């Protein structure tokens, strides 16, 4: 890690001509192309992902220059509450510590009163986002989940989710953003009415990770074809959408780029991917992958930097609670967003990883020469330039919360 920190400091202190003078000739050619606002090919991105530590300073410098060119000096975040609607799930990812079996006394659904209590705590703390996170369609696998839903008065998790989003909208000033797993076109259309934005991590485009022995072996909802269909359908419906990749679960460098490439292509068609998250794997005790190595700082920085160079103007996010030990260097990697940060609730997916305090995030960001800027769960450019992505019923609530930049 000390060597990587030295490399990063090198990239910050280098000027462009020095950086490129020391770069490998192939890498230099690719970086000059990116600086000329030319689109980087998949093959060129492979070369950048396979670069050695000696070429990392020049890659980081160019990523940071492009970030500043496209996004300015702002790094944004959304102030949110985390509402874990249900921890029952039909999938069983080998790294997940959130999911519970129906036999676990701590499994189940939050009640409407519990949902509202969390949302009101967030409203009191000045939050704008209600992040609904939940297991994927547990009633399709477990009769216990079906019975719990029936007692609440619903037949599906999606129906109940819709009502809880509506409840939060009616009783608070929070804007729902939902991550419910794969959805049909009708389900997306249904949830769009009560969500200002939605999300689904691609995680990785490789079907190999779903094979026997892979992290998604027991997770039918992690089939990348199904996830890509949901992401594309969201674009057809003009839903501002968050997606991303999970780094360090056994993927190759080539599969990282292939994943970013398919997301870039989808966004070029529909212009609805408001951000791409680069999320590092975190090993959790009690899971099948508790001894699996987490991605190194080099891999994290290199992936972010190459993503910036490859994706251009797209918004890039890294979760600050999953990267706390690297916060003081990540602003130089090409990111322009920290994601949602909660002053009220845990990250129930990663409860052992506490959120940094917003004042701490502000200090870290400013110490790196950037400005921390709060945003809504829908990105400013969608508010100011693409209002057709905002559901009609939510436009007044959105517009009264923003400045002229969105």
Asked if pLDDT for residue 369 goes beyond 70, the answer is yes
Distances in whole angstroms, Cα of residue 161 to Cα of each of 134, 302, 336: 9, 37, 30
| Alpha carbon distance 136, 91 (integer Å) | 7
Question: Where does 248-350 show beta strands of DSSP type E?
Answer: 273-280, 316-317, 337-341
Asked if pLDDT for residue 17 goes beyond 80, the answer is no
| Alpha carbon distance 4, 164 (integer Å) | 45
Asked if pLDDT for residue 251 goes beyond 90, the answer is yes
Tell me, what's the pLDDT at 84? 98
Tell me, what's the pLDDT at 159? 99
Asked if pLDDT for residue 157 goes beyond 90, the answer is yes
Q: What is the mean pLDDT of residues 369-398?
A: 96
User: 3 falls in which pLDDT band (50, 70, 90)?
Assistant: low
Asked if pLDDT for residue 6 goes beyond 80, the answer is no
Asked if pLDDT for residue 312 goes beyond 80, the answer is yes
User: Do the Cβ atoms of 130 and 119 come closer than 8 Å?
Assistant: yes
Structure token pair of residue 38? 């030319």
Q: Which string of DSSP letters, residue by residue, matches 347-375? A: -TTSTTSPPPPHHHHHHHHHHTT-EEEEE
User: Do the Cβ atoms of 128 and 81 come closer than 8 Å?
Assistant: no
Tell me, what's the pLDDT at 13? 64
Structure token pair of residue 172? 């608070």
Q: What angle do CA 172, 277, 324 make, to 5 degrees?
A: 85
| Alpha carbon distance 197, 238 (integer Å) | 10
SS3 string, 148-175, reads HHHHHCCCCHHHHHHHHHHHHHHHCCCE
Helix orientation angle between 157-171 and 112-124, rounded to the nearest 10 degrees? 40
User: 406 falls in which pLDDT band (50, 70, 90)?
Assistant: low
Over its C-alpha atoms, the chain yields an Rg (Å, rounded) of 21
pLDDT digits (tens, 9 = 90+) for 46-58: 999 999 998 998 9
Please, how many CA atoms are within 13 Å of residue 269, restricted to the half-sphere of its CB?
Answer: 12
20-24, 63-67, 216-220, 303-307: which range is least confident on average?
A: 20-24
Q: What is the mean pLDDT of residues 305-330?
A: 96
Tell me, what's the pLDDT at 166? 98
Please, how many CA atoms are within 13 Å of residue 190, restricted to the half-sphere of its CB?
Answer: 14
To the question of pTM greater than 0.85 for the whole model, the response is yes
- More confident position, 11 or 316: 316
Tell me, what's the pLDDT at 362? 97
Q: How many residues does the chain have?
A: 406
Asked if pLDDT for residue 332 goes beyond 90, the answer is yes
Please, how many CA atoms are within 13 Å of residue 11, restricted to the half-sphere of its CB?
Answer: 30
pLDDT digits (tens, 9 = 90+) for 231-240: 999 999 999 9
Q: Which domains does the chain have, with CATH numbers?
A: 74-399 (3.20.20.70)
| Alpha carbon distance 210, 222 (integer Å) | 7
Averaged pLDDT score across all residues of the chain: 95
Chain position carrying tokens 């030319």: 38
Please, how many CA atoms are within 13 Å of residue 77, restricted to the half-sphere of its CB?
Answer: 26
Structure token pair of residue 235? 């674009």
Q: What is the mean pLDDT of residues 267-281?
A: 98
User: Do the Cβ atoms of 247 and 221 come closer than 8 Å?
Assistant: no
Percent of the chain with pLDDT over 70: 96
Q: Which string of DSSP letters, residue by residue, matches 88-100? A: --S---TT-SS--
* Total Cβ atoms within 10 A of residue 25: 7
């Amino acid at each position: 890690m000390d060597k990587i920190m030295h490399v990063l400091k090198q990239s910050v202190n280098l000027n462009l001509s020095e950086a490129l003078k020391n770069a490998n000739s192939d890498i230099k050619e690719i970086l000059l192309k990116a600086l000329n606002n030319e689109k980087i090919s998949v093959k060129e991105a492979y070369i950048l992902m396979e670069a050695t530590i000696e070429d990392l300073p020049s890659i980081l410098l160019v990523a940071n220059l492009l970030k500043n060119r496209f996004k300015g000096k702002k790094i944004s975040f959304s102030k949110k509450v985390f509402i874990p609607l249900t921890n029952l799930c039909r999938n069983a990812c080998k790294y997940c510590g959130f999911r519970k079996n129906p036999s676990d006394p701590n499994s189940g659904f939050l009640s409407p009163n519990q949902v509202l209590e969390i949302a009101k705590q967030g409203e009191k703390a000045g939050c704008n986002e209600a992040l609904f996170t939940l297991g994927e369609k547990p009633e399709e696998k477990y009769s216990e989940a079906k019975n719990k839903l029936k007692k609440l008065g619903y037949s599906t998790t999606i129906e109940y989710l819709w009502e809880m989003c509506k409840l939060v909208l009616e009783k608070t000033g929070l804007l729902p953003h939902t991550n419910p797993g794969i959805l049909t076109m009708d389900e997306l259309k249904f949830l769009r009415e009560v969500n200002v934005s939605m999300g689904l991590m691609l995680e990785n485009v490789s079907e190999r990770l779903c094979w026997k022995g892979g992290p998604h072996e027991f997770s039918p909802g992690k089939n990348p074809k199904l996830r890509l269909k949901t992401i594309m359908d969201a674009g057809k419906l003009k839903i501002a959408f968050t997606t991303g990749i999970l780094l360090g679960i056994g993927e190759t460098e080539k599969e990282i780029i292939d994943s970013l490439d398919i997301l870039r292509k989808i966004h070029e068609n529909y212009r609805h991917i408001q951000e791409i998250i680069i999320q590092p794997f975190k090993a959790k005790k009690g899971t099948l992958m508790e001894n699996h190595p987490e991605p190194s700082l080099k891999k994290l920085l290199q992936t972010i930097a190459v993503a910036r160079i490859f994706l251009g103007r797209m918004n890039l996010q890294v979760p600050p609670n999953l990267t706390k030990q690297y916060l003081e260097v990540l602003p130089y990697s090409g990111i322009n967003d920290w994601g949602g940060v909660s002053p009220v609730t845990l990250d129930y997916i990663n409860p052992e990883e506490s959120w940094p305090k917003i004042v701490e995030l502000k200090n870290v960001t400013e110490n790196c020469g950037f400005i921390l800027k709060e945003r809504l769960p829908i990105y400013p450019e969608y508010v100011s330039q693409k209002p057709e992505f905002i559901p009609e019923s939510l436009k007044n609530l959105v517009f009264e919360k923003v400045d002229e930049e969105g």
